[in-house]
Amino acid sequence: MHDLRDVGEARLHLQRWLAKWAGKYGKLCDWVEANIEETWTYYRQPVSHQKHLKSTNVLEGLNQEFKRRALVVRIFPNEASCLRLVRALACEQDEEWLDGAAYLDLRPLREAEKPPLALAA
C-alpha cells in the first residue's frame, strides 16, 4: 500500500483487498479495518520522507549496533547493567542524529507547522 500515490488510492486498494480476502480471512480483515487508520499517517508526511518511513533500515542498524556491543561484553552481571549499555548507546545515537548528517530534511515539516500568513495577521 505504501507504493501508492495518495491516501485515496490506498483506501481504494484496501477495499479491493478486503473484498478479496474477507471470506477466507474474516478475523484478519476485521482487524485491518479497525486498525488501518494509523497507517494513513504515512500519507500526511512530505513525499521526500515517505521513502525513508517505509523502510526499517535505520532501526535495524541501531539494533545491530546494540547486538555488536552486547557481544563484546558477553555476560552482564545484571539486567540493569544491560539496560545502562543500551541506554548509553541510544543516547549516543540520538546525539549523532541531532548533530550529524540529517537522515530526513525537517524543513518541509517546519514549513507545514507554520500558520498561514492570513491567520497570523
74-92 pLDDT, tens per residue? 889 999 999 999 999 999 9
What's the one-letter identity of residue 100? G
* Structural contact between residues 28 and 21, judged by C-beta atoms closer than 8 angstroms: yes
- For the stretch 105-108, contacts whose Cβ atoms lie closer than 8 Å and that sit 24 or more positions apart, written own/partner, are 105/48, 108/46, 108/48, 108/49
What's the one-letter identity of residue 82? C
Element of type H or E holding 61: helix 57-73
Residue 95: CA atoms inside 13 Å, Cβ hemisphere, count? 5
Q: What is the pTM of this model?
A: 0.50
Helices 79-99, 57-73: crossing angle, 10 deg rounding: 140
* Structural contact between residues 33 and 11, judged by C-beta atoms closer than 8 angstroms: no
Q: What is the pLDDT of residue 15?
A: 93
